Structure 1
Amino acid sequence: MKNRLILFFFFIVKLTIAQVSDFKSIDFTRADNIAKLNANASLKNLPLLAHNLTYKLDNDAEKFRAIYTWVCTNIKGDLNQDNKVSKQRKRFKNDSLAYLKWNNDYQKTAFKKLLKHKKTMCTGYAYLIKELCFLVDIDCKMVNGYGRSTTANVTSLDLANHSWNAVKLNNKWYLCDATWSSGYFVNDVFIKDYNLGYFLTDPTLFAKNHYPLDKKWLLDDTLITSDYSASPIVYGETFTHKIIPIGPSNLNTTIKKNDTLAIRFKSLNTLETKDISLIKYIGIKTIPFKITDLKNENGLVSFNYKFKSKGVYDVHLKIKNDIVATYTVSVIKE
């Protein structure tokens, strides 16, 4: 069994490296600059906007980057819309046909607000990405499913609450989420914070907090043929640092007192061991765990921690100053 786990671990890593290296030869600076030059452009003429964003670029990957960057940096999140839709999702949780009817009617209002005020929710972001791609002959789909966070779909897939995109580049499908790339809310105020971690993201990482209604959009045969299980909670910073948690594979783990918990993850960015830590919180105070056997072998990181007391612990993997994964560990008697 141990050898099988090791083989599976390296199989995941091999797939990840292949995915990330697909566009290493492309410099997206020109595409990003074109998006900046067209900042504040109107949405009243989408064909003109699509043309202005892409006509100077040489390939579909650059064209898609310009579209993606423009949408993420020019469209604001609309919390009122999001709350309204969330309320209706809960209301029609057991009546999908009724929800679809309500949603189809409401989308007309939502899209009008998007075009007029440049404010929207996840469906609007995904819709705009898809429409701009269509206008430049890039195959792009809207994907609906479950977005996982610290407050939604934590341990099970309770409510389909999110939309994102799949885009076909060089005859291969990739995943991205313009909503979560664009920023976040603090006290009902939208904070712009362009996070490229959600751009053409590795499917294994993307599935940590995106689970589609149609499993084919997992874009990974192992994930597609496996049953859903609640993985560790990940955050926007996980995508920024390009961290893929591997073990423990589940959010909730039970071990015996004095047993060792092994943490394993893949870092797609260069990472120094001094920047890796495991912590817990007591109130607002950060308490570091004394981890052992810390190794970083070409981005394959592993370390151990022995729990000496019974209890339930929320433990957080920290890279530099950012929490990138959260696990709940139940320690029982020997």
Structure 2
Amino acid sequence: MKIAFVFLLVSFYFSFAQRSGFNDINFKKADSVAEIHKGESLMNLPVLVYNLTAPLDTDVEKFRAIYTWISSNIENDYSSYVKIRNKRKRLVNNRQAFLDWNNNITPIVFDRLPNERKTACTGYAYLVKEMANLAGFNCEIINGYGRTPTLLLKEDSAPNHSWNRIEINNIWYICDATWSAGQTILEDGNSRFEPDYFDGYFLAEPELFAKNHFSINKEEIQLNDTESFTAFIEGPVIYKEAFLASIIPLSPQKMHVYIKKGDLVTFKLNLPDNFKEDKFQLLINTGGRQKTIQPNILRNQDEISLLHRFQKTGLHDVHILVDNDFVVTYVVKVKNAR
């Protein structure tokens, strides 16, 4: 069954700016302010927002304090996520009903936050919006799909995620406070949340963000270019560490690569000009046996190509590593040449 939503794309993310525009800003003071007010009540949001923003001079620092406070003080509630996910599944074929329900559920989720201090992505996005609005920012919720290494999607998958766009100095940026907050660990049917603030989704690189976020907010899509939902879910798996280094996979465009024995595969990535290529390795897992290799490397300014020739047939999980951290995964299926 195909998804009934009309998907245009995420290349509307190219209309967003990225955090590098604030390279001259030191966020230590904003983070310190957020830390000072750790654990404060949500019962009076205007007071909390004032306490977080008043000591800071620039708008981006003010939003930074709000964002880091939310991501460091709100627990991700997996049981709430499951309930919302199941409802989304039931409405997957009725776009308008889904949007109406989603708009109605967010205030309800938000009402529980002051006492419970935990929520699903809907609550994070709503809280970011409310607190940013109180600080004078134009901030909106984006609904759609989030794709992670442990959450792969199919064409009939229901929307499963919410995040935000924020206007700072008349320029729009994107962020995901849910994924900055930490991770949910599932063990023996039980879930537990491990708080661990991650900075990579704060004013994220738009082109990279589009690799694991897909919006269904039609009014936010700009038709500069389009990409289908199918192309989105077929792309390589992106790990959060790619966001810290701003490493963007360019090709192959699909996670599953089909070749013949002896073929050379080129994994091309975009990266910062000053990034050292000797940080890269390939970890290849074949039938449970894995090895780390140093690929042949070609560098052209802000692009790097990692080349490897596959001499054995079979299914190979190819993980691109940077300083031993996973950043991208492909699956290469090698058949006998005929």
TM-score by length of 2: 0.85
Q: What amino acid does structure 2 have at the position aligned with 1:328? A: V
Distance 1:233 1:19 in 2: 21
* Residue in 2 that maps onto 1:9: none
Q: CA deviation at 1:212?
A: 0.4
1:254–1:331 contact (8 Å) kept in structure 2: yes
Q: How does 1:305-320 map to 2 (within 5 A)?
A: 305-320=308-323
Change (3 A) 1:295 1:20: farther
Q: What amino acid does structure 2 have at the position aligned with 1:274? A: D
Distance 2:19 2:42 in 1: 32
2:287–2:316 contact (8 Å) kept in structure 1: no
Change (3 A) 1:91 1:227: closer
Distance 2:102 2:47 in 1: 29
* Residue in 1 that maps onto 2:324: 321
Q: How does 1:75-114 map to 2 (within 5 A)?
A: 75-100=74-99, 102-104=101-103, 106-114=105-113
Secondary structure of 1:250's match? coil
Distance 2:173 2:103 in 1: 26
* Residue in 1 that maps onto 2:228: 227
Q: How does 1:74-153 map to 2 (within 5 A)?
A: 74-100=73-99, 102-104=101-103, 106-153=105-152
Secondary structure of 2:93's match? coil
1:203–1:218 contact (8 Å) kept in structure 2: no
* Residue in 2 that maps onto 1:244: 248
Q: What amino acid does structure 1 have at the position aligned with 2:322? A: I
Q: CA deviation at 1:26?
A: 1.2
Distance 2:272 2:220 in 1: 22
Q: What's the CA shift string for 1:5-50, capped at 9, x where partnerless?
A: xxxxxxx9xx89x844311111111111111111111100011111
Distance 2:108 2:167 in 1: 29
2:287–2:315 contact (8 Å) kept in structure 1: no
Q: What amino acid does structure 1 have at the position aligned with 2:139? A: C
Distance 2:156 2:271 in 1: 27
1:241–1:269 contact (8 Å) kept in structure 2: no
Query: Where does structure 1 lack aligned partners over 5 or more consecutive residues?
Result: 1-11
Distance 2:292 2:218 in 1: 38
Secondary structure of 2:22's match? coil
Percent of aligned positions that are identical: 39
* Structure 1 stretch displaced more, 87-96 or 63-72: 87-96
Q: Is 1:191 equivalent to 2:194 in the alignment?
A: yes
* Structure 1 stretch displaced more, 149-158 or 122-131: 149-158
Q: Which structure is richer in relative contact order (CA contacts within 8 A, separation 6 or more)? A: 2
Q: CA deviation at 1:93?
A: 2.2
Distance 1:182 1:37 in 2: 18
* Residue in 2 that maps onto 1:263: 267
Q: Is 1:62 equivalent to 2:46 in the alignment?
A: no
* Residue in 1 that maps onto 2:170: 171
Q: What's the CA shift string for 1:145-177, capped at 9, x where partnerless?
A: 111123434454722110000011121111100
* Structure 1 stretch displaced more, 98-107 or 40-49: 98-107
Q: CA deviation at 1:213?
A: 0.6
1:257–1:308 contact (8 Å) kept in structure 2: yes
Distance 1:290 1:327 in 2: 16
Secondary structure of 2:38's match? coil
Secondary structure of 2:132's match? helix
* Residue in 2 that maps onto 1:206: 209
Secondary structure of 1:21's match? helix
1:245–1:265 contact (8 Å) kept in structure 2: yes
Q: CA deviation at 1:309?
A: 2.4
Distance 1:122 1:21 in 2: 26
Distance 1:204 1:51 in 2: 33
Change (3 A) 1:85 1:194: same
Q: CA deviation at 1:331?
A: 2.2
Q: CA deviation at 1:112?
A: 2.3
Query: Where does structure 2 lack aligned partners over 5 or more consecutive residues?
Result: 1-10
Larger helix proportion of the pair: 1
Q: What amino acid does structure 1 have at the position aligned with 2:265? A: L
Distance 1:117 1:53 in 2: 21
TM-score by length of 1: 0.86
Q: What's the CA shift string for 1:268-310, capped at 9, x where partnerless?
A: 3854333211112357653224522x14455532220011123
Change (3 A) 1:41 1:73: same
